[in-house]
Structure 1
Amino acid sequence: MISIDQANGLKVFAEIQANTANNRPLYIMTEGDLITWKNDSDVFDIGALSVGVSISSDSVTHKSISEKKAIAEKIPRAVYGIRLLVNCIPIIDEAGNAVGAFSAFYPILHPIAAAFDHFASILAEMFPEGVLLYMTDLQKYSYRQSSKVFDLPNIQVGNELTENDIALNSIKTKQITIKEFDASTYGVPVLGVNYPLFDENNEVVATFGIALPKEIAIQLRDMSENLDHGLSGISAAIEQLAASASQIHENEQVLNKEINGIISLSEKINQVSVFIKEIADETKMLGLNAAIEAARAGEAGRGFGVVAEEIRKLSEQSKSTVPQIKELTENIKIDVDKVIEKSNGSLNSSQEQAAASEEITASIEEITSMASELSSIAKQL
């Protein structure tokens, strides 16, 4: 308890404390149940507590007077619209009677709200694209801090919360709320994130929100989607080219086998030529023997001698075609060797083309995957 003189001394102290204390208290003095003096701060006031207003019989101040003792008590939000801690000290006269009370009302702030002015201005400049930080109580916006490069004029301290405000959803659901807004709401695309803040009884008492510009993220997402579509088309074309290269490779393999078959046939022709030469040599010898025998037979063998001569001529002619056949087959073999060489080169090239196409396809698929991941990241920005 304090005397009337001590109470007057507290007034001076209270006037200094009102705007210097971190929690910006509100002070009142009563005579009986009537408020006779009040000192509020620049940022905190309770309109219901004004000079000339009588306090209710169930108030902490009235209880302190009636019980003649100092009382500290928390007042729920339902009484004055804000959570409060009240310290009341009864004032006694010279006779020791409680004739009034000196009361200090302290707003109970969430730790984030108490520190908002200290960290928000620093944090706001840590976002290169800009950000708006804000806090709400259960009905309205109570704090805001924009960055130099981004602001939302629609959100101002004192504005009542509406159904469009994600803070209201966080209050109702007691969960983090994330929502994308198109330009129709704030004039620019915005990503809003809101966190419910709880008291010691796990009740939501406020929210903390972050609003981020989404214009660059949307542009990034559009670019990534266009890139994704473009790469998908390129990938399809490369896959078709790879399929064609594989078909060419198969055709070259078949051609190579057929060329090898021609070489084998040329070798068989050479074998036949050798056989023809052998037959021609033997026929020539037979013709020579027949001519000798015809000469021995005299006039009777003259006709047979003519036949033998013709046989020898045919043998010479057959023998003379053998080098020509051999020369032709050798030329065929030379040409075939050249074709084989080119075919092998084409075969190797088609193999390399197929392998390169597969590598390009794999690279395109990797880039496409990166584009899809980029689009997912853009959606999260």
Structure 2
Amino acid sequence: MNDSDYQFETLAVTHGERQRPAEGVEDVAVPVHLASTFAVPEIDPDASLESLDPDAGEYLYSRLSNPTRNALEHRIAALCGGDHALAFASGTAAIVTAISAAVQPGDHIVAFDDLYGGTKSMLSDLFEDRLNVSVSLVDARDTDTVAAAMREETSLVWMETPTNPLLRLCDIEAIAAIADEYGATFGVDNTFVGPHFQRPLELGADVVVHSTTKYLNGHSDSIGGALATNDEAYAEEMTFLQRVGMGNMLAPFDAYLTLRGLKTLPLRMEKHASNAQAVAEFLADHPAVEAVHYPGLESHPQHDLASRQMSGYGGVLSIELDTDLDGVARFVAALEHFPLAVSLGGVESLIEHPASMTHSPLSQEERDMLGITDSLLRLSVGVEHEADLLSDLSDALDVI
């Protein structure tokens, strides 16, 4: 049986860790290869960097390839349903590489208007202002708006689904068809639910990106990013940018931590999702909560789409409290199991205030347009016991 025939849970535990026959050992868990450089057996005038085969134990320099990172890249490719994967020092590094490999000056990008704030800043401040790439931001919940924004020079369509922090969705399969019609590369940031619950490559995306900092690592102790693709030529361009053009790769110890985290990804995701569903249902019925945004609720306007393209709804939800900013502050201060912190996807629950934290770089006008109000809070629901989380939220809501 080829490893690609195995189920997700099996791939998460073992894939990539037993592919180094030249080393003469078969570790149960890949060790951390901290070496910056590797000795080669002899001078070979015909050798080139492109001819090095890490899978055969051929290594030269850790920027180019490292055994621990190589194992992680194999596993991420398998979990995403891709032929190729690359691991980077951050999710942002993965995104900028995927975009840079798809566009050149004079090109055009169509992107979701509800992207992560850092990605929006990257598109405007780097690609538009410095690299002469025009960008159209559209409400991609309506597929027709994506089609209407496409141009002859559109070379990339970039989406997140669900989005941060309002959990808005776009139809991956339908947008993939639009991108194909224009010959554009289609990229999806899948960080919010990860490959366990959503596999964009199988729905027609050309590249899928994750911040491994979040669910893939899952323990809030490593920063990283990864991308996966089935496009050979596109993979080669991104590999050049990773190793030479930008020199941005995941460090060996972070690769080791992410490999370790991935072993429990399926187990963690099921618990994240069941806890988040319980929290969302509890908060939706509470009089102090004005709105709950979670695709797992039937009240979510895109619940049917979520059920069609996702096998689970993830562990992130956002709420709008029926109070002012002072009331929001009192609620957050009263919580015991939801520390106030950015990021998400770790085993511990977190809460953050988008208007003053993740989305603070945006102007008030931009936040108003996106629905980022002062009463909005984003919850990353962890794997603690459901009853403890609900009790904590109930007690904190009593304060307001």
Which structure has the higher relative contact order (CA within 8 Å, separation 6+)? 2
TM-score range with shorter-chain normalisation? under 0.3
Question: Relative to total residues, which structure has the larger strand share, 1 or 2?
Answer: 1
Q: Larger radius of gyration, structure 1 or 2?
A: 1
